[in-house]
Chains A and B, each alone.
Chain A
Protein backbone atom coordinates (compact mmCIF):
# COMPACT_ATOMS: atom_id res chain seq x y z
CA UNK A 1 0.00 0.00 0.00
CA UNK A 2 2.87 2.37 0.85
CA UNK A 3 4.31 1.53 -2.57
CA UNK A 4 0.99 2.40 -4.24
CA UNK A 5 0.74 5.73 -2.39
CA UNK A 6 4.30 6.61 -3.33
CA UNK A 7 3.66 5.61 -6.94
CA UNK A 8 0.48 7.73 -7.09
CA UNK A 9 2.35 10.75 -5.74
CA UNK A 10 5.21 10.21 -8.22
CA UNK A 11 2.73 9.80 -11.08
CA UNK A 12 0.91 13.03 -10.26
CA UNK A 13 4.17 14.92 -9.74
CA UNK A 14 5.51 13.83 -13.14
CA UNK A 15 2.22 14.32 -15.00
CA UNK A 16 1.68 17.78 -13.49
CA UNK A 17 4.89 19.11 -15.01
CA UNK A 18 4.62 17.81 -18.54
CA UNK A 19 3.44 18.99 -21.92
CA UNK A 20 1.79 16.26 -23.95
CA UNK A 21 2.78 15.45 -27.51
CA UNK A 22 -0.07 13.91 -29.43
CA UNK A 23 0.26 12.49 -32.94
CA UNK A 24 1.97 14.68 -35.55
CA UNK A 25 0.97 18.33 -35.28
CA UNK A 26 2.51 21.25 -37.06
CA UNK A 27 5.05 22.77 -34.73
CA UNK A 28 6.11 25.58 -37.06
CA UNK A 29 6.61 26.32 -40.74
CA UNK A 30 9.01 28.30 -42.93
CA UNK A 31 7.59 30.68 -44.21
CA UNK A 32 5.76 31.09 -40.89
CA UNK A 33 2.01 30.48 -40.60
CA UNK A 34 0.12 33.67 -41.60
CA UNK A 35 3.35 35.60 -42.18
CA UNK A 36 4.21 38.05 -44.95
CA UNK A 37 7.60 37.45 -46.52
CA UNK A 38 9.48 40.22 -48.43
CA UNK A 39 10.78 37.90 -51.19
CA UNK A 40 9.33 34.77 -52.78
CA UNK A 41 10.57 31.63 -50.97
CA UNK A 42 12.03 28.81 -53.10
CA UNK A 43 10.98 26.16 -50.64
CA UNK A 44 8.32 25.48 -48.01
CA UNK A 45 9.40 23.62 -44.88
CA UNK A 46 6.99 22.13 -42.33
CA UNK A 47 8.23 21.01 -38.91
CA UNK A 48 6.05 18.53 -37.00
CA UNK A 49 5.92 17.33 -33.41
CA UNK A 50 6.47 13.71 -34.41
CA UNK A 51 8.25 11.61 -37.00
CA UNK A 52 6.31 11.13 -40.23
CA UNK A 53 5.59 8.24 -42.56
CA UNK A 54 6.74 9.49 -46.00
CA UNK A 55 4.56 7.00 -47.89
CA UNK A 56 1.37 8.55 -46.52
CA UNK A 57 2.27 12.24 -46.02
CA UNK A 58 1.73 15.04 -48.52
CA UNK A 59 1.53 18.81 -48.93
CA UNK A 60 0.04 21.09 -51.54
CA UNK A 61 0.63 24.82 -52.04
CA UNK A 62 -1.81 26.78 -54.18
CA UNK A 63 -2.29 30.41 -55.18
CA UNK A 64 -5.43 32.53 -54.83
CA UNK A 65 -6.93 30.97 -57.98
CA UNK A 66 -6.36 27.45 -56.64
CA UNK A 67 -3.51 26.60 -59.05
CA UNK A 68 -0.73 24.40 -57.63
CA UNK A 69 2.54 26.29 -57.16
CA UNK A 70 4.60 23.56 -55.47
CA UNK A 71 7.03 21.35 -57.38
CA UNK A 72 5.31 18.07 -56.54
CA UNK A 73 6.53 15.30 -54.27
CA UNK A 74 7.86 16.58 -50.95
CA UNK A 75 11.02 15.25 -49.30
CA UNK A 76 10.49 13.99 -45.77
CA UNK A 77 13.16 13.45 -43.19
CA UNK A 78 12.06 12.33 -39.70
CA UNK A 79 9.66 15.10 -38.62
CA UNK A 80 10.37 17.64 -41.35
CA UNK A 81 8.64 17.90 -44.72
CA UNK A 82 10.03 20.14 -47.50
CA UNK A 83 8.66 20.95 -50.92
CA UNK A 84 10.11 23.15 -53.66
CA UNK A 85 8.07 26.13 -54.93
CA UNK A 86 7.74 27.67 -58.37
CA UNK A 87 8.70 31.35 -58.77
CA UNK A 88 5.93 33.00 -56.74
CA UNK A 89 4.59 36.42 -57.72
CA UNK A 90 3.30 38.65 -54.89
CA UNK A 91 0.06 37.33 -53.42
CA UNK A 92 -1.52 35.00 -50.90
CA UNK A 93 -0.75 31.26 -50.89
CA UNK A 94 -2.55 28.42 -49.12
CA UNK A 95 -0.71 25.40 -47.75
CA UNK A 96 -2.66 22.18 -47.17
CA UNK A 97 -0.89 19.31 -45.44
CA UNK A 98 -1.90 15.80 -44.50
CA UNK A 99 0.50 13.55 -42.63
CA UNK A 100 0.60 10.08 -41.09
CA UNK A 101 2.65 9.98 -37.92
CA UNK A 102 4.70 6.92 -37.01
CA UNK A 103 2.10 6.11 -34.34
CA UNK A 104 -0.30 5.55 -37.30
CA UNK A 105 -2.57 8.56 -36.80
CA UNK A 106 -3.48 10.89 -39.64
CA UNK A 107 -3.65 14.64 -39.05
CA UNK A 108 -4.24 17.47 -41.48
CA UNK A 109 -4.32 21.24 -41.54
CA UNK A 110 -3.93 24.33 -43.64
CA UNK A 111 -2.63 27.88 -43.37
CA UNK A 112 -1.72 30.80 -45.58
CA UNK A 113 1.32 32.99 -46.09
CA UNK A 114 1.78 36.09 -48.18
CA UNK A 115 4.49 37.28 -50.54
CA UNK A 116 4.84 41.07 -50.27
CA UNK A 117 3.64 43.26 -53.15
Chain B
Protein backbone atom coordinates (compact mmCIF):
# COMPACT_ATOMS: atom_id res chain seq x y z
CA UNK B 1 0.00 0.00 0.00
CA UNK B 2 2.79 2.42 0.97
CA UNK B 3 4.69 1.72 -2.27
CA UNK B 4 1.58 2.30 -4.35
CA UNK B 5 0.94 5.56 -2.47
CA UNK B 6 4.51 6.68 -3.19
CA UNK B 7 4.08 5.94 -6.91
CA UNK B 8 0.76 7.82 -7.02
CA UNK B 9 2.27 10.77 -5.12
CA UNK B 10 5.22 10.88 -7.54
CA UNK B 11 2.93 10.81 -10.58
CA UNK B 12 0.75 13.51 -9.06
CA UNK B 13 3.69 15.78 -8.16
CA UNK B 14 5.29 15.40 -11.59
CA UNK B 15 2.09 15.98 -13.57
CA UNK B 16 1.03 18.94 -11.40
CA UNK B 17 4.47 20.56 -11.70
CA UNK B 18 4.36 20.15 -15.49
CA UNK B 19 0.86 21.69 -15.67
CA UNK B 20 1.94 24.71 -13.64
CA UNK B 21 5.27 24.95 -15.46
CA UNK B 22 3.73 25.10 -18.94
CA UNK B 23 1.09 27.65 -17.88
CA UNK B 24 3.68 29.85 -16.09
CA UNK B 25 6.05 29.56 -19.05
CA UNK B 26 3.32 30.59 -21.46
CA UNK B 27 2.58 33.69 -19.42
CA UNK B 28 6.08 34.77 -18.39
CA UNK B 29 8.26 33.66 -21.33
CA UNK B 30 6.20 32.93 -24.44
CA UNK B 31 3.98 36.03 -24.19
CA UNK B 32 6.82 38.57 -24.11
CA UNK B 33 9.17 36.65 -26.47
CA UNK B 34 6.88 35.23 -29.15
CA UNK B 35 3.47 36.76 -28.55
CA UNK B 36 4.01 40.04 -30.34
CA UNK B 37 6.39 38.86 -33.07
CA UNK B 38 4.38 37.89 -36.15
CA UNK B 39 7.55 36.65 -37.88
CA UNK B 40 7.70 33.60 -35.60
CA UNK B 41 4.20 32.32 -36.40
CA UNK B 42 5.20 28.79 -37.44
CA UNK B 43 7.41 28.37 -34.36
CA UNK B 44 4.66 29.67 -32.09
CA UNK B 45 2.10 27.40 -33.71
CA UNK B 46 4.26 24.26 -33.37
CA UNK B 47 5.23 25.11 -29.80
CA UNK B 48 1.63 25.78 -28.84
CA UNK B 49 0.38 22.55 -30.42
CA UNK B 50 2.96 20.38 -28.66
CA UNK B 51 2.76 22.02 -25.25
CA UNK B 52 -1.06 22.05 -25.28
CA UNK B 53 -1.09 18.28 -25.82
CA UNK B 54 1.34 17.79 -22.94
CA UNK B 55 -0.63 20.24 -20.79
CA UNK B 56 -3.98 18.49 -21.26
CA UNK B 57 -2.45 15.06 -20.78
CA UNK B 58 -0.67 16.20 -17.59
CA UNK B 59 -3.82 17.85 -16.23
CA UNK B 60 -5.78 14.64 -16.82
CA UNK B 61 -3.09 12.51 -15.17
CA UNK B 62 -2.86 14.98 -12.30
CA UNK B 63 -6.62 14.85 -11.58
CA UNK B 64 -6.80 11.05 -11.84
CA UNK B 65 -3.75 10.64 -9.58
CA UNK B 66 -5.27 13.12 -7.08
CA UNK B 67 -8.36 10.90 -6.85
CA UNK B 68 -6.19 7.78 -6.53
CA UNK B 69 -4.23 9.50 -3.73
CA UNK B 70 -7.52 10.27 -1.92
CA UNK B 71 -8.66 6.62 -2.23
CA UNK B 72 -5.34 5.17 -1.04
CA UNK B 73 -5.10 7.59 1.85
CA UNK B 74 -8.66 6.80 2.93
CA UNK B 75 -7.89 3.08 3.04
CA UNK B 76 -4.74 3.78 5.07
CA UNK B 77 -6.49 6.08 7.55
CA UNK B 78 -9.43 3.75 8.09
CA UNK B 79 -7.39 0.54 7.93
CA UNK B 80 -10.06 -1.00 5.70
CA UNK B 81 -10.00 -2.40 2.15
CA UNK B 82 -10.82 -0.05 -0.71
CA UNK B 83 -14.32 -1.48 -1.42
CA UNK B 84 -15.34 -0.99 2.21
CA UNK B 85 -14.00 2.58 2.31
CA UNK B 86 -16.25 3.41 -0.65
CA UNK B 87 -19.24 1.38 0.57
CA UNK B 88 -19.38 2.68 4.15
CA UNK B 89 -18.76 6.32 3.16
CA UNK B 90 -15.35 6.68 4.84
CA UNK B 91 -13.99 8.30 1.71
CA UNK B 92 -16.63 11.05 1.97
CA UNK B 93 -15.75 11.63 5.61
CA UNK B 94 -12.09 12.03 4.59
CA UNK B 95 -13.09 14.38 1.76
CA UNK B 96 -15.49 16.53 3.78
CA UNK B 97 -14.17 16.43 7.36
CA UNK B 98 -10.37 16.45 7.17
CA UNK B 99 -8.07 19.28 6.13
CA UNK B 100 -6.53 17.03 3.49
CA UNK B 101 -9.98 16.29 2.04
CA UNK B 102 -11.09 19.92 2.05
CA UNK B 103 -7.81 20.97 0.39
CA UNK B 104 -8.25 18.17 -2.15
CA UNK B 105 -11.83 19.23 -2.93
CA UNK B 106 -10.60 22.81 -3.39
CA UNK B 107 -7.78 21.62 -5.67
CA UNK B 108 -10.12 19.55 -7.84
CA UNK B 109 -12.41 22.59 -8.13
CA UNK B 110 -9.43 24.77 -9.11
CA UNK B 111 -8.36 22.12 -11.65
CA UNK B 112 -11.85 22.28 -13.15
CA UNK B 113 -11.70 26.08 -13.40
CA UNK B 114 -8.23 25.83 -14.93
CA UNK B 115 -9.51 23.37 -17.54
CA UNK B 116 -12.37 25.76 -18.43
CA UNK B 117 -9.93 28.67 -18.68
CA UNK B 118 -7.50 26.70 -20.87
CA UNK B 119 -10.33 25.50 -23.11
CA UNK B 120 -11.57 29.06 -23.47
CA UNK B 121 -8.08 30.20 -24.48
CA UNK B 122 -7.87 27.46 -27.07
CA UNK B 123 -11.33 28.24 -28.48
CA UNK B 124 -10.53 31.92 -28.85
CA UNK B 125 -6.99 31.19 -30.06
CA UNK B 126 -5.93 33.72 -27.44
CA UNK B 127 -2.41 35.09 -27.24
CA UNK B 128 -0.41 34.11 -24.14
CA UNK B 129 -0.68 37.69 -22.88
CA UNK B 130 -4.49 37.48 -22.91
CA UNK B 131 -6.19 37.85 -19.48
CA UNK B 132 -7.02 34.16 -19.65
CA UNK B 133 -3.28 33.49 -19.59
CA UNK B 134 -2.90 35.44 -16.34
CA UNK B 135 -5.94 33.75 -14.80
CA UNK B 136 -4.64 30.32 -15.90
CA UNK B 137 -1.29 31.05 -14.24
CA UNK B 138 -3.00 32.07 -10.98
CA UNK B 139 -5.20 28.94 -11.00
CA UNK B 140 -2.24 26.68 -11.83
CA UNK B 141 -0.27 28.28 -8.97
CA UNK B 142 -3.07 27.63 -6.51
CA UNK B 143 -3.57 24.10 -7.81
CA UNK B 144 0.08 23.31 -7.15
CA UNK B 145 0.52 25.33 -3.95
CA UNK B 146 -2.58 23.99 -2.19
CA UNK B 147 -0.81 20.63 -2.05
CA UNK B 148 0.97 22.12 0.97
CA UNK B 149 -2.17 21.29 2.99
CA UNK B 150 -1.77 17.61 2.21
CA UNK B 151 1.47 16.78 3.93
CA UNK B 152 4.19 17.90 6.25
CA UNK B 153 3.32 21.54 5.55
CA UNK B 154 0.76 21.07 8.32
CA UNK B 155 3.45 20.36 10.93
CA UNK B 156 3.50 22.63 13.94
CA UNK B 157 0.98 24.67 15.90
CA UNK B 158 -0.24 28.28 15.79
CA UNK B 159 1.85 30.79 13.91
CA UNK B 160 4.59 28.19 13.31
CA UNK B 161 2.10 26.12 11.32
CA UNK B 162 1.10 29.20 9.30
CA UNK B 163 4.75 29.97 8.50
CA UNK B 164 5.39 26.35 7.55
CA UNK B 165 2.30 26.22 5.32
CA UNK B 166 3.24 29.50 3.59
CA UNK B 167 6.81 28.26 3.04
CA UNK B 168 5.56 24.94 1.64
CA UNK B 169 3.08 26.74 -0.66
CA UNK B 170 5.85 28.96 -2.06
CA UNK B 171 8.23 25.98 -2.33
CA UNK B 172 5.74 24.16 -4.54
CA UNK B 173 5.00 27.20 -6.73
CA UNK B 174 8.73 27.90 -7.16
CA UNK B 175 9.25 24.25 -8.16
CA UNK B 176 6.55 24.67 -10.80
CA UNK B 177 8.16 27.86 -12.02
CA UNK B 178 11.62 26.38 -12.48
CA UNK B 179 11.35 22.61 -12.78
CA UNK B 180 8.02 22.76 -14.62
CA UNK B 181 9.35 25.38 -17.02
CA UNK B 182 12.31 23.27 -18.18
CA UNK B 183 10.20 21.09 -20.49
CA UNK B 184 8.52 23.97 -22.41
CA UNK B 185 11.91 25.74 -22.58
CA UNK B 186 13.52 22.71 -24.23
CA UNK B 187 10.56 22.44 -26.65
CA UNK B 188 10.67 26.15 -27.51
CA UNK B 189 14.44 26.17 -28.17
CA UNK B 190 14.09 23.03 -30.31
CA UNK B 191 11.31 24.55 -32.44
CA UNK B 192 13.10 27.90 -32.78
CA UNK B 193 16.16 26.14 -34.16
CA UNK B 194 14.18 23.66 -36.23
CA UNK B 195 11.91 26.25 -37.92
CA UNK B 196 14.71 28.82 -38.26
CA UNK B 197 12.32 31.76 -38.67
CA UNK B 198 14.15 35.06 -38.28
CA UNK B 199 14.86 36.34 -35.71
CA UNK B 200 15.03 32.85 -34.11
CA UNK B 201 18.39 33.50 -32.49
CA UNK B 202 17.22 36.69 -30.77
CA UNK B 203 14.09 34.89 -29.59
CA UNK B 204 16.17 31.96 -28.25
CA UNK B 205 18.45 34.41 -26.44
CA UNK B 206 15.47 36.30 -24.98
CA UNK B 207 13.67 33.14 -23.90
CA UNK B 208 16.84 31.67 -22.33
CA UNK B 209 17.72 34.90 -20.55
CA UNK B 210 14.21 35.43 -19.20
CA UNK B 211 14.00 31.85 -17.99
CA UNK B 212 17.43 32.13 -16.39
CA UNK B 213 16.36 35.24 -14.45
CA UNK B 214 13.14 33.51 -13.47
CA UNK B 215 15.26 30.53 -12.40
CA UNK B 216 17.32 32.70 -10.03
CA UNK B 217 14.10 33.96 -8.42
CA UNK B 218 12.72 30.41 -8.16
CA UNK B 219 15.97 28.98 -6.73
CA UNK B 220 16.10 31.78 -4.13
CA UNK B 221 12.51 31.00 -3.07
CA UNK B 222 13.30 27.26 -2.99
CA UNK B 223 16.36 27.81 -0.82
CA UNK B 224 14.62 30.09 1.69
CA UNK B 225 11.38 28.08 1.90
CA UNK B 226 13.31 24.78 1.94
CA UNK B 227 15.40 25.99 4.87
CA UNK B 228 12.24 27.05 6.74
CA UNK B 229 10.66 23.64 6.06
CA UNK B 230 13.80 21.84 7.23
CA UNK B 231 13.78 23.84 10.46
CA UNK B 232 10.40 22.23 11.25
CA UNK B 233 11.14 18.71 10.06
CA UNK B 234 14.78 17.98 10.89
CA UNK B 235 15.79 17.65 14.51
CA UNK B 236 19.44 18.74 14.13
CA UNK B 237 22.42 17.99 11.90
CA UNK B 238 22.87 14.49 13.36
CA UNK B 239 19.32 13.63 12.28
CA UNK B 240 20.31 14.32 8.67
CA UNK B 241 22.61 11.30 8.84
CA UNK B 242 20.94 9.07 11.42
CA UNK B 243 17.41 8.98 10.03
CA UNK B 244 15.91 7.82 6.75
CA UNK B 245 14.17 11.16 6.37
CA UNK B 246 17.46 13.03 6.87
CA UNK B 247 19.35 10.87 4.35
CA UNK B 248 16.59 11.29 1.74
CA UNK B 249 16.67 15.04 2.33
CA UNK B 250 20.45 15.09 1.82
CA UNK B 251 20.05 13.17 -1.45
CA UNK B 252 17.40 15.66 -2.55
CA UNK B 253 19.74 18.54 -1.71
CA UNK B 254 22.59 16.91 -3.63
CA UNK B 255 20.43 16.58 -6.77
CA UNK B 256 19.26 20.16 -6.29
CA UNK B 257 22.89 21.35 -6.09
CA UNK B 258 23.72 19.54 -9.36
CA UNK B 259 20.65 21.12 -11.00
CA UNK B 260 21.72 24.59 -9.88
CA UNK B 261 25.27 23.90 -11.15
CA UNK B 262 23.92 22.90 -14.58
CA UNK B 263 21.76 26.04 -14.64
CA UNK B 264 24.81 28.12 -13.71
CA UNK B 265 26.81 26.64 -16.61
CA UNK B 266 23.93 27.50 -18.96
CA UNK B 267 23.81 31.06 -17.65
CA UNK B 268 27.56 31.65 -17.56
CA UNK B 269 28.71 29.93 -20.77
CA UNK B 270 25.95 28.88 -23.17
CA UNK B 271 23.58 31.85 -22.95
CA UNK B 272 26.29 34.51 -23.44
CA UNK B 273 27.53 32.54 -26.47
CA UNK B 274 24.01 32.49 -27.88
CA UNK B 275 23.27 36.14 -27.14
CA UNK B 276 26.60 37.49 -28.45
CA UNK B 277 25.73 36.05 -31.82
CA UNK B 278 28.52 33.43 -31.78
CA UNK B 279 25.94 30.87 -32.82
CA UNK B 280 25.17 32.40 -36.19
CA UNK B 281 23.40 29.54 -37.93
CA UNK B 282 21.37 26.49 -37.14
CA UNK B 283 24.33 24.14 -37.50
CA UNK B 284 26.00 25.77 -34.48
CA UNK B 285 25.74 23.35 -31.53
CA UNK B 286 25.06 26.01 -28.84
CA UNK B 287 21.27 25.67 -28.91
CA UNK B 288 21.53 21.88 -28.96
CA UNK B 289 23.82 21.98 -25.92
CA UNK B 290 21.37 24.28 -24.21
CA UNK B 291 18.49 21.89 -24.96
CA UNK B 292 20.49 18.89 -23.72
CA UNK B 293 21.54 20.69 -20.59
CA UNK B 294 17.91 21.72 -19.96
CA UNK B 295 16.74 18.12 -20.40
CA UNK B 296 19.48 16.95 -18.01
CA UNK B 297 18.21 19.46 -15.44
CA UNK B 298 14.70 18.13 -16.00
CA UNK B 299 15.87 14.54 -15.41
CA UNK B 300 17.52 15.61 -12.14
CA UNK B 301 14.32 17.43 -11.20
CA UNK B 302 12.29 14.27 -11.78
CA UNK B 303 14.74 12.51 -9.45
CA UNK B 304 13.92 15.13 -6.82
CA UNK B 305 10.19 14.51 -7.34
CA UNK B 306 10.73 10.77 -6.77
CA UNK B 307 12.37 11.59 -3.45
CA UNK B 308 9.60 14.03 -2.50
CA UNK B 309 7.05 11.24 -3.01
CA UNK B 310 8.84 9.15 -0.37
CA UNK B 311 9.58 12.04 2.02
CA UNK B 312 5.88 12.86 2.33
CA UNK B 313 5.04 9.52 3.93
CA UNK B 314 8.27 9.20 5.91
CA UNK B 315 8.23 10.31 9.53
CA UNK B 316 10.38 13.42 9.90
CA UNK B 317 13.67 13.02 11.70
CA UNK B 318 12.51 12.41 15.22
CA UNK B 319 11.68 9.35 17.29
CA UNK B 320 8.16 8.73 18.55
CA UNK B 321 9.50 7.61 21.90
CA UNK B 322 11.02 10.99 22.61
CA UNK B 323 7.54 12.49 22.73
CA UNK B 324 6.04 10.22 25.37
CA UNK B 325 6.23 11.96 28.74
Q: Which residues of A contact B (CB under 8 A)?
A: 1, 3-4, 7, 10-12, 14-16, 18-23, 25-28, 32-33, 49-51, 53-56, 78-79, 100-107, 109, 111
Contact = CB atoms under 8 A, between A and B. Distances in A.
Contacts of B235: 18-20
Interface size classification for chain B? 35 or more
State the main secondary structure of chain B at its contact with A: helix
B227 A11 contact: yes
B256 to A, nearest CB: 9
B260 A102 contact: no
Nearest to B97: A55
B99 A102 contact: yes
Given A14-B228, A51-B157, 18 more contacts: A1-B261, A4-B261, A7-B227, A11-B253, A14-B230, A16-B236, A18-B236, A20-B232, A20-B233, A22-B316, A26-B323, A27-B323, A51-B154, A51-B161, A53-B99, A54-B97, A56-B98, A104-B73
17 contacts: A18-B231, A18-B234, A20-B234, A21-B156, A21-B233, A22-B155, A22-B316, A25-B320, A28-B325, A51-B157, A53-B97, A55-B93, A102-B154, A103-B151, A103-B155, A104-B77, A105-B315
A100 B98 contact: yes
Given A15-B234, A16-B236, A102 B100 contact: yes
Interface of B: 73, 76-78, 93-94, 97-100, 150-157, 161, 219-220, 223, 226-228, 230-237, 239-240, 253, 257, 260-261, 264, 315-318, 320, 323-325
Q: What are the 4 A-B residue pairs with the smallest beta carbon separation, nearest first?
A: A25-B323, A20-B235, A22-B316, A103-B154
Contacts of B318: 19-22
A41 to B, nearest CB: 17
A113 B165 CA distance: 36
Contacts, number: 127
A15 B230 contact: yes
Nearest to A54: B97
Contacts of A22: 155, 233, 315-318, 320
Nearest to A111: B324
A56 B316 CA distance: 21
A19 to B, nearest CB: 6
A23 B236 CA distance: 17
A34 B313 CA distance: 31
A26 B324 contact: yes
A104 B234 contact: no
B227 A14 contact: yes
Contacts of A100: 77, 98
Contacts of B237: 12, 15-16
A20 B154 contact: no
A9 to B, nearest CB: 10
Given A11-B226, A14-B227, A56 B325 contact: no
A53 B323 contact: no
